[in-house]
């Protein structure tokens, strides 16, 4: 028997989950409000608001790495939004977090570090916007903006106003906005410390189930190959537009657009917006009428028209392609792989932050009230943060202990578990769960049936042929069998039991299918011991996939059913002590 002790969570991740849930709520609530009303400089306002929030918390929770962790959590929460493009906003959030954390690292967690970091974080939104536009439209955009700038200056009669001076002025405005937001956050934290105890939180923090966090949202499913294909297609399309004749490049781009429209219907919604076509005509007209106007005296040129059309075609490729790439990046397999590479703590923190979002939304005042009295709104969030942190801590502390029975394929894991069950029933223990009984034909395994350990009822689970349902590997799983298994181990059904048995947890669950959701809910809500059957090569992946307590791993080739029964009895005694 191998005992794997539950790792004590880094408290910074729990605090970062609190901040990340607030940050994500701001991005969702305030960001949607600003963008829907087409408020000018909405990105700057949103970034300044985020800096205020971050400085408010880090000046109180003075721990290194807190902002980076909160940024990662907020960015991953952004990845589950229904938006077609998630890559850009995620990079923007991470940039703000990195710059603020870097400034505090170099200058210290003091007012100078906060103000410098806040200024850089807000300024990064301008840089992010500039880089994004250059990626979308190319460097011809610079020439067009320069031509437009000189045209406007000439029309209004302003002299001696070089573009460099305007850029310096814009830079100063952004830096000042970030510095003021950081200063306001710091002063709010000081005021709250001086008035500590004058306000108390009185709301219960209720977390929703985290099981829907990484659910599949793409009706066609996900594919790592399609992720690579889309990346290659975007690069290839841009290359063809640059070097190939129109009769080659245009059909190739149209063919790719058709594929994306079929595979990712939401990915082309940016092309359906009025704003995109307004930009299309403006850029085309400016390029055609102004690009050569100041240098050659021509206020219309076919060359300028071609450049404008090329820029818009490039923009369409980038928008459509990045939307498709962003969809594939939501692939739960990617998240599962990274969790197995030492990032499980990050994703568990994201789960906690996600589960708190409804409660955080309820803490927010109305949007109008928020902008009228932002300091009071943030103070309210901060007063509730201690309760939210305590809720996260309880969620971690209540993790159930898990017993894993492992072995290779068709080595007798289910038979081994049957012997354990016989011993437990002889001791009058209440058992809930199911076994997957192998079905053989002519000596070959053709499927499994599900056996309800409480009622003795059997349900067809999967077959290698002749069955409609969820295809995975060489088996097709029946919808009824999967639903029955999930119902058997639901928190309501296991109530009053002393041990829950799940045979088995395998590749289907690691791919966020099967009874993955049911196991997640069970881990969250039931503190009773659980026995899982897991293949030997998947043990580490399964353990890292759920936030559980101590794990006792029994190998059927080395251990005895009696040894397992002893451990189960000890765990039950600890639960009732």
149 in any annotated domain: no
Domain identity same for 198 and 78: yes
Count other Cβ atoms within 10 Å, centred on residue 364: 18
**Quick one: pLDDT at residue 462?**
94
Q: Residue 547: its pLDDT value, please?
A: 76
Same domain, residue pair 312 and 371: no
Q: What is the mean pLDDT of each run of 10 residues along the chain (577 residues)?
A: 75 90 84 72 86 92 90 80 61 91 93 95 88 74 70 64 76 93 91 64 54 47 77 87 82 88 74 70 73 56 75 80 74 53 69 82 74 77 85 80 91 93 93 93 90 94 90 90 94 89 90 86 82 92 82 94 93 76
Domain CATH number, residue 457: 3.40.50.300
One domain for residues 389 and 462: no
Domain assignment present for residue 333? The answer is: no
* Secondary structure class of 441 (helix, strand, coil): strand
Neighbours of 362 (CB within 10 A): 11
Closest CA to 360 of 16, 15, 97, 26: 26
Tell me, what's the pLDDT at 484?
A: 95
Domain identity same for 380 and 424: no
d(C-alpha 290, C-alpha 146), whole Å: 10
Q: Give the C-alpha separation, 348 to 213, whole Å.
A: 10
Please check whether residues 562 and 431 belong to one and the same domain.
yes
Domain boundary among 377, 397, 417: 397
Same domain, 273 and 386: no
Residue 45 falls inside a structural domain: yes
**144 is a domain residue:** no
Domain end residue (candidates: 302, 328, 354): 328
**How far apart are the C-alpha atoms of 377 and 290, rounded to whole Å?**
48
Q: Report CA torsion sign: 357, 363, 369, 371.
A: negative
Tell whether 257 is covered by a domain.
Answer: yes
Q: Which of 328, 351, 380 lies at the terminal end of a domain, its last residue?
A: 328
Shared domain for 249 and 306, answered yes or no, is yes
Dihedral sign, Cα of residue 399, residue 400, residue 403, residue 406? negative
Assigned domain for 146 exists: no
Please indicate, yes or no, whether residues 293 and 367 belong to a single structural domain of this protein: no
Beta bridge partners of 463: 447, 476
Model pLDDT, residue 52: 93
Residue burial 366-382, b: 16+ Cβ < 10 Å; e: rest: eeeebeeebeebbbbbb
- Provide the domain count of the chain: 3
C-alpha 45, offset from chain centre: 23
pLDDT score of 4: 82
For residue 407, being part of any structural domain is answered with yes
Do residues 440 and 492 both lie within one domain? Answer: yes
Query: Side by side, which strands form the sheet with 551-555?
Result: 2-4, 551-555, 402-407, 530-535, 499-503, 431-441, 444-452, 458-463, 475-477, 470-472
Clarify whether residues 432 and 469 are in a common domain. yes
357 and 447 together in one domain: no
Pick the closest to residue 43 from 95, 2, 7, 115 (CA basis): 95
Q: 129 and 23, same structural domain?
A: yes
Inside any domain, residue 169? no
Let me know the angle formed at the C-alpha of 207 by 201 and 209, rounded to the nearest 5 degrees: 175
Bridge-based pairing state of the strands 530-535 and 402-407: parallel
From 206, 191, 117, select the one nearest 395 (Cα to Cα): 206
Range of the domain at 356: 8-136+177-215+342-397
Q: What is the rounded CA–CA span in Å between residue 568 and residue 577? A: 14
Residue 122 near residue 178, CB atoms below 8 Å = yes
Closest CA to 101 of 131, 78, 76, 124: 124
């Amino acid at each position: 028997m191998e005992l794997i002790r539950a790792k004590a969570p880094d408290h910074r991740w729990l605090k970062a989950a609190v901040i990340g849930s607030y940050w994500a709520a701001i991005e969702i609530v305030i960001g949607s409000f600003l963008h829907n009303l087409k408020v000018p400089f909405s990105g700057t306002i949103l970034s300044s608001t985020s800096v205020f929030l971050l400085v408010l918390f880090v000046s109180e929770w003075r721990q290194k790495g807190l902002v980076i962790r909160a940024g990662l959590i907020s960015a991953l929460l952004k990845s589950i939004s229904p938006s077609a493009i998630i890559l850009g906003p995620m990079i923007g959030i991470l940039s703000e977090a990195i710059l603020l954390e870097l400034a505090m690292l170099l200058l210290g967690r003091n007012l100078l570090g906060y103000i410098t970091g806040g200024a850089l974080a807000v300024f990064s939104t301008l840089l992010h916007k500039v880089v994004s536009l250059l990626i979308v439209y190319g460097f011809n955009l610079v020439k067009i903006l320069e031509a437009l700038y000189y045209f406007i200056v000439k029309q209004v009669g302003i002299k001696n106003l070089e573009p460099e001076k305007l850029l310096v002025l814009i830079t100063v405005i952004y830096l000042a906005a970030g510095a003021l937001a950081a200063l306001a956050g710091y002063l709010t934290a000081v005021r709250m410390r001086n008035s500590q105890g004058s306000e108390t939180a009185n709301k219960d923090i209720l977390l929703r189930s985290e099981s829907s966090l990484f659910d599949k949202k793409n009706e066609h499913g996900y594919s790592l190959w399609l992720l690579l294909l889309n990346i290659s297609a975007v690069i290839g399309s841009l290359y063809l537009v640059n070097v190939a004749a129109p009769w080659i490049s245009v059909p190739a781009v149209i063919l790719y657009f058709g594929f994306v429209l079929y595979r990712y219907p939401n990915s082309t919604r940016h092309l359906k917006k009025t704003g995109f076509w307004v930009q299309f005509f403006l850029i085309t007209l400016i390029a055609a009428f102004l690009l050569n106007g100041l240098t050659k005296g021509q206020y219309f040129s076919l060359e300028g028209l071609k450049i404008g059309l090329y820029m818009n075609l490039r923009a369409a490729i980038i928008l459509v392609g990045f939307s498709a790439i962003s969809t594939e990046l939501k692939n739960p397999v990617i998240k599962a792989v990274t969790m197995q590479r030492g990032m499980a703590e990050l994703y568990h923190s994201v789960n906690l932050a996600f589960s708190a979002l409804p409660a955080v939304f309820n803490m927010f005042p109305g949007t109008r009230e928020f902008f009228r009295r932002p300091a009071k709104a943030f103070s309210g969030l901060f007063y509730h943060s201690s309760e939210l942190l305590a809720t996260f801590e309880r969620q971690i502390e209540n993790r159930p202990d898990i017993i894993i029975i492992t072995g290779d394929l068709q080595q007798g894991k289910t038979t081994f578990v049957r012997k354990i069950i016989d011993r437990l029933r002889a001791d009058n223990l209440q058992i809930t769960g199911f076994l997957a009984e192998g079905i053989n034909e002519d000596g070959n395994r053709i499927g499994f049936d599900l056996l309800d350990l409480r009622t003795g009822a059997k349900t067809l689970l999967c077959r290698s042929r002749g069955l409609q349902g969820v295809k995975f590997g060489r088996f097709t799983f029946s919808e009824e069998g999967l639903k029955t298994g999930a119902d058997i181990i639901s928190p309501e059904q296991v109530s009053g039991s002393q041990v829950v048995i799940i045979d088995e947890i395998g590749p289907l669950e690691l791919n966020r299918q099967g009874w993955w959701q049911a196991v997640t809910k069970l881990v969250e809500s039931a503190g009773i011991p659980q026995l899982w059957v897991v293949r030997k090569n998947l043990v580490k992946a399964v353990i890292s996939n759920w936030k559980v307590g101590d794990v006792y791993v029994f190998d059927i080739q080395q251990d005895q059913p009696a040894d397992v029964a002893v451990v189960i009895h000890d765990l039950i005694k600890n639960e009732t002590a």
